[in-house]
Chain A
Amino acid sequence: MLPQRLSEISEIPDLMLDKVVLSVQNTFASISGDAPELVEQVNSLQPMNGIIGNIAVFNPEHTLSMMLAVPKETAVSISVKFVGFELEFESDDIGDLIGEISNILAGEVAMNIETIGFRGQSSLPTATRGSDLRLFLPNKPPSARLRFVTSDGEFWLYLALYESQRY
């Protein structure tokens, strides 16, 4: 599905993007009970007070890197659905939660993009909490910025597709 050299493409293929959107909807529906709606592709995210979950699905040739940007209010609302009570935004547990949601999302993405020929495995997730967070994507690799809205609030998913590093 992907060319050997990603320099041959300027955008993430629509087929892959569709599978990622489906994965986001499945993941959040299984957690919150309702599927988030893809509102738009955005040019850039305004500085955010919240948490970013980082994870990748990769194989020896390609890596699909994902940044799940969740504002404070959305993260706290999701915590009620996931753990049954409201987690404090300042706690370590909220980072653990968004990391775990990123992990679940990556598992779903890996399963869905395998059906279009991208067979990969998930990395371990990391999470960053902060205020005035700005997300940057390098210009060169194919990338996408997706904004979703759900009953818990809004969140963003940034994607970048690049060739895996070989050492």
Chain B
Amino acid sequence: MSKIKALVVDDSKIMRSAVKRTLDQLMLAEFEYIEAMDGEDALEKFSHEIEIIFVDWNMPKMTGVEFSKEVRKMENTSHIPIIMVTAEKSMGKVDTALNEGGANAYVTKPFTADQLYTALSKYIDDNGNFKLGAGGGQKKSFFKDMLNLK
């Protein structure tokens, strides 16, 4: 079974670790993580093999929204979910990230496993399987009941 390639972008190593740890705890799938410390670094590390992106907003050199816009300008990237994981909480910021930045979901820091799961829920089918990317496919069963998630 291939692992899902996830790009995790945050200038805080602690937060990158928190995202990775929470995803692993959710057991939605097996992930292979590529880490980047800002938008510029993330653009350099981006490839069309990336299947999902978790990106902070407020970073040096290039913000998460600027990075998301650059990704969306590229061909064949509209299917890649971009999850904004940020301390920015105002409705204006959420609107900017989703509508201008092209992000698919918005999670505010500090997040819980439930909040991350909710953000990812549209990529989980009725049987609790994680589905991603153009190739799609079931990656790993997700036992909702075991985790007591609604």
| B110 interface neighbour in A30, A84, A93, A114, Cβ under 8 Å | A30
Write the chain B residue with the least CB distance to A23. B89
Residues of A within 8 A of B59 (CB): 124
**Would you give the shortest CB distance from A117 to chain B, in whole angstroms?**
13
* Per-residue B-contact encoding for A53-95, CB less than 8 Å = 1, 0 else: 0000000000000000000000000000011100000000100
The answer to whether A104 and B109 have CB atoms under 8 Å apart is yes
**Would you give the shortest CB distance from B109 to chain A, in whole angstroms?**
5
Residue A154 at the B interface, CB < 8 A? no
Residues of A within 8 A of B86 (CB): 107
The answer to whether B60 and A124 have CB atoms under 8 Å apart is yes
Q: Is the interface of B mostly helix, strand, loop or mixed?
A: loop
Residues of A within 8 A of B69 (CB): none
Q: Assess A122 versus B13: contact at CB under 8 Å? Given A106-B87, A111-B89.
A: no
Interface size bucket, A side?
20 to 34
Interface size bucket, B side?
20 to 34
Residues of B within 8 A of A97 (CB): 14
CA distance A124 to B59 in the complex (A): 7
**Would you give the shortest CB distance from A148 to chain B, in whole angstroms?**
17
The answer to whether A100 and B15 have CB atoms under 8 Å apart is yes
Residue A110 at the B interface, CB < 8 A? yes
* Per-residue A-contact encoding for B22-42, CB less than 8 Å = 1, 0 else: 000000000000000000000
Question: Can you give 23 contacting A-B residue pairs, CB < 8 Å?
Answer: A82-B14, A83-B14, A83-B17, A93-B13, A96-B12, A96-B13, A96-B14, A97-B14, A100-B12, A100-B14, A100-B15, A103-B58, A104-B109, A107-B86, A107-B88, A107-B89, A110-B88, A110-B89, A111-B89, A122-B58, A122-B87, A124-B11, A124-B58
